Every structure is written in structure tokens, then in C-alpha cells.
Chains A and B, each alone.
Chain A
Amino acid sequence: MSSTVVALTIIFAIVAAGSLIGFLAGSHHKMDLEQWIVGGRGFGLLLVWLLMAGEIYTTFTFLGASGWASSRGAPVLYIIGYTCLAYVVSFYFLPELWEAGRRYRLQTQGDFFQVRYHSKYLTAFVALLGMTCIIPYLQLQITGLGIIVEVASFGVIHRTPAMAISFAVVAGFVSTSGIRGVAWVSVLKDLVLFFAAVFVGVAVPYIYFGGIGPMFAAVARAKPSHLVMPGATTNLGHAWYVSTVLLCAFGFYMWPQFFGASFAAKSGDTLRRNAIVMPLYIITMPLMFFVGLAALLVLPGLANGDLSMLMIVRRTFPPWFLGVIGGAGALTAMVPAAILMLTAASLFAKNLCRPILAPGMTDEQVGKLAKITVLAITCAALASAIFSSTTLVGLLLLGYAGVAQFFPGVVLGLYSKRATTSGVFAGMLTGVLVAVFLIFTKHDPIMGLNAGFIALCFNFAVTGVVSLLTSTGESGFLPDLISSPALQPQDNREQE
């Protein structure tokens, strides 16, 4: 019982310290909706980058990656493949997106679709789809927090109350710290998690096997098929790997929170140089895989792979260390959850509520309604966390199948005059319907391919064909005078 108390106390202390930092850093900037939406471009460059770079250190990395390495094996390699290639994709289009953002003062993903396609209904659909995709991502963070509390309490607190506690922690964190606060806590969690990852990733294989090489030799002897695709699965083979890597590499910057954050960069060139070095940040990811593979042999018969990181830490190290790791893990769930909630709020307020539902509402009313919406979204995430048994990686892939459907509209919108509103609308609807149909009828993967990727292909095809049929050859960007009449397009330096 006392080890439970020690572990939980330390987790609580770390969470409290994180919340305090968030509160202190954010207290002189009141976090209302205006601060988040309008504060966007004025937000410090360093902090924006810490938020964006920190994305790869979330609960997904910490528990999900090690979990899949343990339960699925080699298919987990797709995570290295896609994160690296996502930065390659961003190298080409992100600076151009930033340029459009500067010209038309874009703040959210919905804004981009508004100035490019001039349809408030398409914009509202984009906002709605973005908010929907945020649900599984939030669910992932809540599930992760629940796992941490469950394992650290040595099973005293069961998963469902553990997730309810986590939900309260996240909600409290969001309401006490400003976005600047969140960014500073993000720095703390990156540091703690980086050292935790390196230490555990090196120490665990060393303690049980005498090193990383001997550990792989042992895995190769005991379960050779685990180390090549499809690993422990029957349907996650090479075709799945290629289709999933492509889906996620294209989908990565389509997440509303990253899409919006890229507008806050100092220049397009900053984004481009950042894209060059970003793959180096993924270097700690393989260490998570090592922990999961060690758990495969050390803890045979573990029912839920997502528990492998914490269970092996609990077995190997004293309770106070489990507390440190659990606390670090809790921060990696709280920070992304806060960012996701704020993104959902800004999409709702700016692109859905104001233009469609209630044009005459005051800022205060919109803000209030946005808060209620975010609460509803979070409750949906909590409810589905309680009732679903999807793995953490499975949840993220579900979100990717959704957000990747923005890709044709964004890329064709940037580079082609022929992409039309009806084309993009038809393509996006087709993509979403195909993805929903395949995933919810349990046809993912289908014929060895990721269902989201199939949906993306349909999306591209329909967008292309309908655009060509409806094209007048000259569709392009126009300043959005409906939702922000005060904002004219900025003068470009070229014009001078």
C-alpha cells in the first residue's frame, strides 16, 4: 500500500508543479477565447516551436509506441517512417501556406478554406470535421492518463474512475493556465520525458538482457516473426506500412492545431529550415520501441500492450521512480489535451458559430458557447474512452483517417487554379464517408491497405474530376470579408 502512496504522491506533485507553472506563466495573460484566437500571430516564436516540436512527445509516443512495439511488433516502425516523411512534405507546402496566412491574416484551418473557396458551408464543414477528429486524439490523452493512474496506484484505482480523475485534471489545467502557461509546461514535459525516455530505454534492456544488442538477439531467438512485418498481426504487412506512412505523412500538418500553429511562425523560411532538422528530434522514438520489446519477453501475457511501459517500470524500479515516470507521462497528456481543447474552441467560435449559427452574437456569448462545446467534446472523448478498447495507436490512426481528408483541398488549393469549391466539397465528403464506412464496418485494413488511405485516394479522384467539370480556370484566393470585415489582405512587398 505504501508504494501506491509514494508513486501517486510524486505523480500528484509533478502534475501540481506543472499546473502551477502554467498558472503563474499564464496569469498575467487572461486566457479567454480572444487571447487564443487573436493572440495567434503575436505569440512568441520560440513557444510556438516548442509546442509544435513537442507534439512527438505525447502520451502516444510514451505509452502508445511502446505498447504497439510490445503487442504488434514491427508494424510500429510506421511511426518513425511517417513522422520523418511528414517533415519532408511540410518542407514544400508549409512555407507557401504561411505566405497565404500572412497575406490574408489567417488564424485557423477554417480561415484558409474560407479565403480560398469562399463558401461558409465548406468552412463550417472543415471546422466540424476538425473538431470531430480531435475527439479520438483527446480520448487518447485521457486513456493514457487513466492508464498512468491505474498502474501507479497498483490497481487500487480502476480504469474508469482513473479516467474520470484525469478528465478533471485536464479540465482544471486548461481553465487555470493561459496558452502561454501551457507552452511553458510543454518545455518542462519535453525535458522530463526526454530524460525519462533515454534512461528507461537504455536501462531496461541493460538490466534484463545486458544491453540493446543482446535484447534484440533474445527477441530474435524467442519471437523472430515479431521483428518483421506483419509482426504479431495478420494484416499489417508491407502494403499497410506504405499506405499508412503515406496517409500520416500527408495528414500530419492537417491536424487543426498544427495547421493553425504554422501561421504563427516568423517566416516561411523558418518553417522550411525547421522541416530540415525536425527528423533528428524523432531519435528518441526507437528507445520507446526498445522498452516495449523488452516488456514482450519480461512480462509475457500482458493483456494490454499500452500498459507495457509503466508495468515494466513498476517491476524494475522503486515506486518513487514509477512516480517520476508517471508524472512525466501525465504532463505529456495534459499539454496536448489543453492545446486540442483550445483549437476546438477557436474552430467552433470563428468558423462555425459566428458565420453559420449566430452572426449577431457578441464575443462574450460566442466565448461562452465555445466553452460549452469544448466541454461537450471532452465528455464525448471521456465517454468513448470508457467504452472503447482501441489501442492508443489505433485511436491516432482513426484521427489521421479524418484529418488527411483536408490534404487535397489544401494542396490543390495552394497550387492549382482549377480546384473548385464544389470539387473540394465533394471530394472531402466522399473521403469522409468512405473512411467512416470502412472503419466502422471493420474493414480496416482493407486488402492489406489502410482504410484512411483508400478514402484519401477517393477524395483526390473526386476532387479532381468534379473540379475539372466545374472549373472556370480561375479560382483563387480572395480576402474574407464576411467573418472579419476589418481585415483587408496585407500589402505584399512585391507591390511596392
Chain B
Amino acid sequence: MEHRDDRTFRAKRPSPGAILLGLIPFAASCFSVPLWDRVYPMVLGLPFNFFWLISWLLLTPLCMWGAYWLETHRASELGRKDGGTP
């Protein structure tokens, strides 16, 4: 647990689990581009690469909601009152 003293501010680091959840969209819509950059099979009339990226617009919020859940739970376990928790 990091300590925030009253003189200098230090940012809290996110938990490994939350970072891992954020890496999923990066892996899916950035690093894996050679795997999905193709026209066929077309899905819902869209080339596969268009379909793939549009679906990740919907799936990314799910991943980040998971990361949010992890972060808020971690914060409440640590009994924090400051930023990052509702």
C-alpha cells in the first residue's frame, strides 16, 4: 500500500488485475491486427475488420467496467476515503 503524505502528492498505482483488464482491448483492437484485418467472412454485411473493431467499441466498456469494479473493491478493502472511490 502506498502512502500519501501531506506534503507531496503521489499517484495511486492501479491493481494488476485492473491493468490486465485494460490490456484486453489493447490486445484485441491493436496488437492483433494481422489476425482480424480481412474482408471475409463478412458479418452483418460488414467486412470482418470493420465488424471486429465496431464490436470492440461495445466490448471495451465491459472490460473497463470490470476494472472499475476491481479498483473500487480494492479501495474499499483498504479503507480508503480519497479519490477513485464513489
Does A478 count as interface, using CB distance less than 8 angstroms? yes
Q: Are B49 and A85 in contact, with the CB atoms below 8 A?
A: no
Residues of B within 8 Å of A477, CB to CB, are: 8-10
Q: Are B65 and A88 in contact, with the CB atoms below 8 A?
A: no
Out of B9, B31, B68, which one reaches A272, CB within 8 Å?
B68
Does B74 count as interface, using CB distance less than 8 angstroms? no
User: Which of A142-150, A182-190, A276-284 contacts the other chain?
Assistant: A276-284
Q: How many residues of B contact A (CB 8 A)?
A: 48
Residues of A within 8 Å of B81, CB to CB, are: 493-494
Residues of A within 8 Å of B4, CB to CB, are: 492, 494
Q: Are A81 and B29 in contact, with the CB atoms below 8 A?
A: yes
Residues of B within 8 Å of A289, CB to CB, are: 50
Instruction: Looking at the assembled complex, report how far the CB atom of B68 sits from the nearest CB atom of chain A, in whole angstroms.
Output: 6
What is the bound-complex CA distance between A283 and B55, given in angstroms? 10
Residues of A within 8 Å of B46, CB to CB, are: 212-213, 216
Does A337 count as interface, using CB distance less than 8 angstroms? no
Residues of B within 8 Å of A443, CB to CB, are: none
Q: How many residues of A contact B (CB 8 A)?
A: 60
Instruction: Looking at the assembled complex, report how far the CB atom of A296 sits from the nearest CB atom of chain B, in whole angstroms.
Output: 14
Q: Are A84 and B83 in contact, with the CB atoms below 8 A?
A: no
Contact A80 B54, CB 8 Å, known A269-B85, A272-B68: yes
Q: Are B86 and A269 in contact, with the CB atoms below 8 A?
A: yes
Does A246 count as interface, using CB distance less than 8 angstroms? yes
**Which residue in chain B gives the minimum CB-CB distance to A243?**
B30
Does A77 count as interface, using CB distance less than 8 angstroms? yes
Does B14 count as interface, using CB distance less than 8 angstroms? yes
Instruction: Looking at the assembled complex, report how far the CB atom of B50 sits from the nearest CB atom of chain A, in whole angstroms.
Output: 7
Out of A104, A211, A238, A280, which one reaches B9, CB within 8 Å?
A104
Q: Are A492 and B42 in contact, with the CB atoms below 8 A?
A: no
Instruction: Looking at the assembled complex, report how far the CB atom of B66 sits from the nearest CB atom of chain A, in whole angstroms.
Output: 10
Q: Are B84 and A268 in contact, with the CB atoms below 8 A?
A: yes
What is the bound-complex CA distance between A283 and B8, given in angstroms? 41
Contact bitstring B1-12, A, C-beta under 8 A = 1, else 0: 000101011111
Out of B11, B14, B18, B29, which one reaches A100, CB within 8 Å?
B11
Q: Are A88 and B25 in contact, with the CB atoms below 8 A?
A: yes
Instruction: Looking at the assembled complex, report how far the CB atom of B22 sits from the nearest CB atom of chain A, in whole angstroms.
Output: 5
**Which residue in chain B gives the minimum CB-CB distance to A93?**
B11
Contact bitstring A275-303, B, C-beta under 8 A = 1, else 0: 11101101100100100000000000000
Instruction: Looking at the assembled complex, report how far the CB atom of B61 sits from the nearest CB atom of chain A, in whole angstroms.
Output: 5
User: Which of A60-68, A221-229, A328-336 contacts the other chain?
Assistant: A221-229
A-B contact pairs, 30 of them (CB 8 A): A80-B57, A81-B53, A84-B53, A84-B60, A88-B60, A88-B63, A91-B22, A91-B67, A92-B14, A96-B11, A100-B11, A213-B46, A214-B45, A220-B47, A227-B47, A241-B30, A241-B33, A241-B37, A242-B31, A246-B30, A269-B84, A272-B71, A276-B64, A276-B68, A279-B58, A279-B60, A279-B61, A283-B54, A414-B11, A477-B9
**Residues 375-425 of A at the B interface (beta carbon under 8 Å):** 414-415, 417
Contact A478 B8, CB 8 Å, known A80-B57, A84-B60: yes
Q: Are A272 and B8 in contact, with the CB atoms below 8 A?
A: no
**Residues 84-118 of A at the B interface (beta carbon under 8 Å):** 84-85, 87-88, 91-93, 95-100, 103-104
Does B39 count as interface, using CB distance less than 8 angstroms? yes
Does A234 count as interface, using CB distance less than 8 angstroms? no
Does B73 count as interface, using CB distance less than 8 angstroms? no
What is the bound-complex CA distance between A88 and B20, given in angstroms? 12
Q: Are B34 and A238 in contact, with the CB atoms below 8 A?
A: yes
Residues of B within 8 Å of A103, CB to CB, are: 9
